[in-house]
Amino acid sequence: MKQTTIWIVDDDDSVLDLMLAIVERLGYRARTFTLATDALEQFQRGKAEVVISDVRMPDMDGLEFTRRLIEKDPSVKVMLLTGYPSIPDAVEAIKNGAFDYLTKPFRMEEIRIRLERALEARELFSRLVSSRWLTWILIGSMPLWFLLGYLFGCLLLDV
């Protein structure tokens, strides 16, 4: 089983069970929630790489849920599912940081491809953040390198 953890949030138990079966069949670990507020609370303790969430839920809509998840961890990839697709919702989802917007009904192959893309994007984001830190470390250490170069040059001139 892959070490990647996918969280699934949907108030419809049948969709939750189906999505859980698909995610586990694809080889990922999965955790399910029927309430977005429960998922947010648990997100403080143990994070997921990808969160698949319904848009329309009783306690909090998926658009607000996405915004709050991204605030907590910008690297998490959120895929929103909806049985009621609309262009305004799709635009709002992307503005709130959603990685993808899927419509119900969905196919297993579609979920597999979108999950792979989300995980690739997460990996690229992680590499970008790492390379930014490396750049700042190198820039921060430049005065030290200049000093060492100067001292080494002085030693060579004295010989």
Mean pLDDT of the chain: 84
Give CA–CA dist 119/77, Å, rounded. 8
pLDDT, one tens digit per residue, over 84-129 is 988 999 999 989 889 999 998 888 899 999 999 998 888 887 776 6
11-48 burial, b at 16+ Cβ within 10 Å, e below that, comes to: ebeebbebbbebbeebebebbbbbbbeebbeebeeeeb
Residue that wins the pLDDT comparison between 148 and 54: 54
What pLDDT is recorded for position 68?
A: 93
Q: Report if residue 107 sits inside a domain.
A: yes
Domain count, the chain: 1
* Residue 26: CATH number of its domain: 3.40.50.2300
What pLDDT is recorded for position 1?
A: 46
The parent domain of residue 48 ranges over 5-129
| Residue 62 · residue 36 · CB < 8 Å | yes
**pTM for this predicted structure:** 0.76
